[in-house]
Amino acid sequence: MVMTAKTRTAGRAPARPAQNLARTFKRSRVPLYIQVATLLRRRIEDGHFAAGQKMPTLDDLEREFQVARVTVRQAIDLLQKEGLVWRQQGKGTFVSQDMREKRWLRLAIDMDSLAQTIDGNVPRFVAVKDPPPFPRLLPEDGKPADDYHYLRSIQYRGGEPFAIASVHVAQAIYERFPEEFETHTTLPVLVRHQRDDIGRAQTTVVIGSADPETAELLRIPLNAPIAEARFVIENREGVVIYVAELVYRGDCVRFDIDLLKDGGGAGMTLG
């Protein structure tokens, strides 16, 4: 038997029965226009719609997705705000020519690479009226420190927020370098000064959706995809000296994992 591969033509979306799409849309509580925008975004990123190519008409998309015209318009509006498409009066909607990589935030799985990656992030610290005195520790985490200093910030790139960081760092370490901790992202400062005393570093990442507060702070739609990362670092005595819980915009994060590289003991769990 001879099997031949079918070539996927740029600009031609993969066939999918409208009734199947309708069932898929109904299973989600995410607003319908966001689901449509997500599907179109993926087609653009996968090359089904090439840079500079004209998008299907509103009528075509309305028929394919079996949704109202206003839903399609809202989806296109969202993609236009993201810079993925542009409109020309009387001619239609086109895929942007400048298709730069949006997922610029590379989350490495080893601690030193991760610290280097986020060292240039710009945090804007937020005052918290009643900060939690201790971090949330899991059974597999180490022993708590005597006390902690709490830092909360919104991190920006190019004037746009991309992450919310809630950090507990051991008070004794914070007091040695308060100015650095109050002006820079916390992990690079910690690694710079405590590298030789770190015994264990663990990262867990889960994929979720934005609640109202997160959507407001990161300027993204309600229920938009987010990546929630939790970082835990212990010293050589098994004392937890750092716990960070970060929420990243899902449209800027990518995970680069070298399967042949020794991560130096750092672990990442994707759940």
Residue 23, pLDDT score: 63
Instruction: With beta carbons less than 8 A apart as the criterion, state whether 97 and 52 touch.
Output: yes
Given a cut of 50, whether residue 207 has pLDDT beyond it is yes
- Inter-CA distances, 85 with 77, 79, 97, Å: 9, 6, 9
**Residues 61 and 144 reside in one and the same domain:** no
Among candidate residues 95, 124, 156, the one where a domain is terminated: 95
Structural domains in the chain (count): 2
Beta strands in the chain (DSSP E): 85-88, 92-95, 105-107, 122-125, 143-144, 148-157, 160-170, 198-209, 225-235, 239-249, 253-255, 267-270
Instruction: With beta carbons less than 8 A apart as the criterion, state whether 193 and 172 touch.
Output: no
> Residues 163-188: what's their mean pLDDT?
94
Does a structural domain hold residue 218?
A: yes
Instruction: With beta carbons less than 8 A apart as the criterion, state whether 55 and 95 touch.
Output: yes
**Residues 139 and 247 reside in one and the same domain:** yes
- Inter-CA distances, 7 with 4, 16, 48, 49, Å: 9, 17, 12, 15
Among candidate residues 39, 73, 95, the one where a domain is terminated: 95
pLDDT tens readout for residues 14-49: 445 455 666 666 666 678 888 888 889 888 877 888
**Residues 90 and 109 reside in one and the same domain:** no
Among candidate residues 95, 113, 138, the one where a domain is terminated: 95
Sign for the CA dihedral angle at 244, 249, 250, 254 comes to negative
- Angstrom distance (rounded) from CA 118 to CA 92: 40
**Residues 131 and 37 reside in one and the same domain:** no
Higher pLDDT, 227 or 263: 227
pLDDT tens readout for residues 51-94: 889 999 999 999 988 899 999 999 999 888 878 899 988 899 99
Domain with 173 in it? 105-270
**Residues 32 and 126 reside in one and the same domain:** no
> Residues 203-210: what's their mean pLDDT?
86
Does a structural domain hold residue 100?
A: no
Backbone torsions φ then ψ of 46, nearest 5 degrees: -85, -5
pTM comes to 0.65
Give, in degrees to the nearest 5, the angle at Cα 146 between 114 and 115. 5
CATH of the domain at 214: 3.40.1410.10
Residue found under tokens 């989806």: 75
Instruction: With beta carbons less than 8 A apart as the criterion, state whether 181 and 193 touch.
Output: no
Does a structural domain hold residue 7?
A: no
**Residues 254 and 128 reside in one and the same domain:** yes
Residue 41, pLDDT score: 85
**Residues 149 and 262 reside in one and the same domain:** yes
